[in-house]
C-alpha cells in the first residue's frame, strides 16, 4: 500500500455512504459537524485524518471504523 492510499480509501467509502443516503456534501458535512470544504477534501483523499476523527466520523454515520477502512 502506497502512502496516501488509506486516505483515498476512507474518502471513497465516506462518499459512497453519503451518496447511498442521498445526501449532498453540504448536508452530510453539517450532520457530521465539519465544514463542507473539509468534507470535500476528505472525500478526495486530500485530508489527513487523525484516528480520533476517523472514530468520530464512523460513530456519527453509524458504521464501524473497519467499514471506512475497507479497501
- Is the pLDDT at 35 greater than 90? The verdict is yes
Where residue 2 falls among pLDDT bands split at 50, 70, 90?
A: confident
Are the beta carbons of 45 and 12 closer than 8 angstroms? yes
Q: What dihedral angle (degrees, nearest 10) is formed by the CA atoms of 45, 22, 20, 8?
A: 0
Range 17-31 average pLDDT: 91
Burial class (CB in 10 A: 0-12, 13-18, 19+), 1: exposed
Residue pLDDT, tens place only, 54-66: 998 899 888 999 9
Are the beta carbons of 31 and 60 closer than 8 angstroms? yes
Query: Hey, what CATH class is 5-61 in?
Result: mainly alpha
Amino acid at each position: 500500500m502506497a502512502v496516501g492510499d488509506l486516505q483515498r480509501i476512507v474518502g471513497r467509502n465516506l462518499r459512497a455512504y453519503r451518496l447511498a443516503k442521498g445526501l449532498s456534501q453540504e448536508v452530510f458535512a453539517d450532520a457530521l459537524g465539519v465544514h463542507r470544504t473539509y468534507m470535500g477534501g476528505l472525500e478526495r483523499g486530500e485530508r489527513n485524518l487523525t484516528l480520533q476523527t476517523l472514530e468520530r466520523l464512523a460513530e456519527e454515520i453509524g458504521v464501524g471504523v473497519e467499514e471506512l477502512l475497507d479497501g
